[in-house]
Amino acid sequence: MKKIDAMMSWKEVPLGCHVDRPGSTTDFLTGDWRSQRPVLDKEKCIYCGFCWIFCPEGCYQDQGPEAKVFVADLNYCKGCGICAYECPKQAITMVVEEV
Amino acid sequence: MSKRVGMEVSIAISEAVKMANVDVVAAYPITPQTHIVEHLSELVAEGELDAEFMPVESEHSAMSASLGSAAAGARTFTATSSQGLALMHELMYMAPGLRLPMVMAVANRAVSPPISIWNDHSDIMAERDTGWIQVFAENGQEAFDLTIQAYRIAEHPDVQLPVAVNLDGFTLSHVVEPILLPDQAEVDKFLPPWKPMLQLDPAKPISMGMFGIPEIYFEAKKATDEALVGSQKAIVAIWDEFEKLFGRKYNPIETYKTEGAETILVTMGSISETAMTAVDQMRDQGIPVGLVRIRLWRPFPDKEFKAAVKGAKKLGVIDRCLTLGSHANPVGQEVRSLLYQEKDRPYVFNFALGIGGRDVTRADFRYIYDQCQTLAAQGQDRCHMVGVME
C-alpha cells in the first residue's frame, strides 16, 4: 500500500476548496523554512519601528511602550534579513540557525 | 405556449440568455460570436433585460469578470470563439475548480495560423480537460434549449460547475432557423432563481482560490473530477424534466438508424444533420450504416456511448479538430480508448473533416463509410484527413 501524504480525503475537501475561516493561514508555521534568524541587541534599539514596517511577513510584534522593543515571531520569520538591513542602528544581526 | 419564430441562431441564444434572466453579461466581441453579445447589449440598453453588461477589454477580462460575478452570486453569461477562448485559457480552470456556475456560448471556430474565422472544433478542444461541462448543439433549437438548460445544470446543488454550450460558427451561429420560443412563465417554472451555495459576502467572509500545497492539491482536483463525472446524473434528470415541460427529448448520446448497422459514423455538432441525410441515402441503397451523435462531450457518457455502438463492427469517428503529432484526434482518441478493453470491440477509424471551414457534404460521409470498409482489411496507422489535397 502506498503511503498517502494527504491532509484529508477528497470527499472532505470543502466545495471549491474555499476557506471559510479567515486567518487560517496562521495554522501553517513557516518559521522552519529559515536558515538565519534575527537577533536584536536591545542596547542599540531606539524603538523606531523600521523592522516592524519593513518585515514582509508582518511577524514583528510591538511589545508596548514599556518594553519599547519589537520582537520577531520566529514561528513565521523566514530569515530574509530585511529587518537587519533596514535597521538604522545595526541593532539586528542575522545568526545562522544551528540544528 | 411556445411560438415559432424565424430567427438567427445567435439571436436565439441571446433571447435564451434573456429568458434565463441573467444578472451579468461580461463579453468581448469576436467573429463568429459577435451577434450573440451584440444583441445582448441591445437588450440591456433597451431595458428588456435587467442585467449588468460589462464591455470588457479582452476575453481574459471577460472570463475574469465572469468569475468575480459568479463568486458574488450573480447569474452570469459570457460568449467567445477561437482566439478569444484561447486567451481565456489560463482562467478556464478556475470556474470548475472553484465550483462557480456560469454559462458560456462558444461559436466554434478554427484557431490561427493561418487566420481562419471559419468553423471547426479546435478552439474548444484546447479546453477539453479544464473541467467545464461541454455540450454540442446540432441545430438552432438545440442551441436555444441547451442555453436555458445549461443554467439549471450549472446551478444544480450536486453540480456547481460551468457549462460551455458549443455551436458551430457560421454554419449554426449565422443561419436563420425556425425556433420555438417558450413563454417566459414556462422558462421561469423550469429555471428558478439561483441560490448560491457559497458566495463572497462581507458578512460571512470566505477565501476563494487559495494556495493548495501538495498534501491537498491532488484531493482538490479529484473532488472536481468527481463532481464533473457525477454531474451526468443531474444533467440527465434535468433533460428529462425539460422533456416533460417542453416536449423535446435530450440524451447524452443520440442514435440515428443504428439498428442493425454494421458501420456507425460518430459525429458532434451541426454536421450531424448532413450525416443523417447521408445515412438516409445509404440506407435507401441497402447499406447497413447508422449515426451516433455525441451531445454531451464532458463529462463523457461512457456507458451510453458503449450501448449506442453495441453490435457495430466498424466505427468511423469524425473529428473537426486536428491533434497535431498524434495518431488520432480528440474524439477518435476518446472512443478508441473507451472501447479498447471491450471484448467485442469494433474497429475504430478516425477521420478529420470540415477543418477551418472546409465544406462538408453528404458525399464525404459516403466516402468515410467506404473508407471504413477498406481500412478494415488494411488497418489504420494515422487519422485520415478527408478532402485534404495531396
Is there a single domain that holds both residue B128 and residue B230?
yes
Is there a single domain that holds both residue B264 and residue B176?
no
Taking residues B322-338, report their average pLDDT: 98
Q: Is A13 on the interface with B (CB under 8 A)?
A: yes
Per 3-state DSSP, what percentage of chain B is helix, strand, and coil (rounded to 5)? 40, 20, 40
Checking if the pLDDT of B1 tops 80, the result is: no
Domain's final residue, options B222, B246, B270: B246
Is there a single domain that holds both residue B257 and residue B238?
no
Taking residues B9-24, report their average pLDDT: 98
Is there a single domain that holds both residue B206 and residue B348?
no
Give the 3-state secondary structure of residue A92.
Answer: strand
Count of domains for chain B: 2
For B374, the domain range is: 253-385
Query: Residue A22: its pLDDT value, please?
Result: 85
pLDDT tens digits along B90-110: 999 999 999 999 999 999 999
Contacts of A26 in chain B (CB under 8 A): none
- The grid coordinates listed for B365 are 460521409
State how far residue B167 is from chain A, nearest Cα, in angstroms: 28
Checking if the pLDDT of B129 tops 80, the result is: yes
State how far residue B96 is from chain A, nearest Cα, in angstroms: 8
Checking if the pLDDT of B180 tops 80, the result is: yes
On whether residue B390 sits in a domain, the answer given is no
Query: What is the rounded CA–CA span in Å between residue B149 and residue B20?
Result: 9
Query: Residue A28: its pLDDT value, please?
Result: 86
Is there a single domain that holds both residue B82 and residue B97?
yes
| A7 vs B197, B215, B222: nearest CB | B215
Q: Is A4 on the interface with B (CB under 8 A)?
A: no
Which residue from B249, B340, B357 is spatially nearest to B302, judged by alpha carbons? B340
On whether residue B46 sits in a domain, the answer given is yes
Q: What confidence tier does A98 reach under pLDDT thresholds 50, 70, 90?
A: confident
Contacts of B99 in chain A (CB under 8 A): 15-16
Domain's final residue, options B217, B246, B275: B246
Taking residues A40-50, report their average pLDDT: 96
Mean pLDDT, chain B, whole residue set: 97
Q: Which CATH architecture has domain A29-96?
A: 2-Layer Sandwich (3.30)
On whether residue B297 sits in a domain, the answer given is yes
Those of residues 34-53 in A touching chain B at CB distance below 8 A are none
- The grid coordinates listed for B148 are 436555458
Query: Residue holding cell 474548444?
Result: B124
CB contact under 8 A, A10 and B207: no
**Any idea what the CATH number is for the domain that residue B127 is in?**
3.40.50.970
On whether residue B25 sits in a domain, the answer given is yes
Is there a single domain that holds both residue B267 and residue B228?
no
Is there a single domain that holds both residue B241 and residue B122?
yes
Is there a single domain that holds both residue B225 and residue B172?
yes
ipTM: 0.90
**Any idea what the CATH number is for the domain that residue B361 is in?**
3.40.50.920
Q: Is B203 on the interface with A (CB under 8 A)?
A: no
| B98 vs A9, A16, A25: nearest CB | A16
Is there a single domain that holds both residue B263 and residue B147?
no
Domain's final residue, options B246, B272, B293: B246
Checking if the pLDDT of A2 tops 90, the result is: no
Taking residues B53-70, report their average pLDDT: 98
Is there a single domain that holds both residue B361 and residue B232?
no
Q: Which residues contact B84 (CB under 8 A, 6 or more apart)?
A: B28, B30, B33, B59, B62
Q: Are B148 and B19 in contact (CB under 8 A)?
A: yes
Q: What confidence tier does A3 reach under pLDDT thresholds 50, 70, 90?
A: confident
Q: Where along chain A do its domains lie? A: 29-96
Checking if the pLDDT of B263 tops 80, the result is: yes
CB contact under 8 A, B219 and A18: no
Query: Residue B177: its pLDDT value, please?
Result: 97
Is there a single domain that holds both residue B106 and residue B207?
yes
On whether residue B267 sits in a domain, the answer given is yes
Q: Is B229 on the interface with A (CB under 8 A)?
A: no
CB contact under 8 A, B207 and A18: yes
On whether residue B94 sits in a domain, the answer given is yes
Taking residues B322-346, report their average pLDDT: 97
Taking residues B282-290, report their average pLDDT: 98
Is there a single domain that holds both residue B182 and residue B263?
no
Taking residues B247-259, report their average pLDDT: 98
Query: What is the rounded CA–CA span in Å between residue B33 and residue B8?
Result: 12
pLDDT tens digits along B196-235: 998 999 999 999 999 899 999 999 999 999 999 999 999 9
Checking if the pLDDT of B338 tops 90, the result is: yes
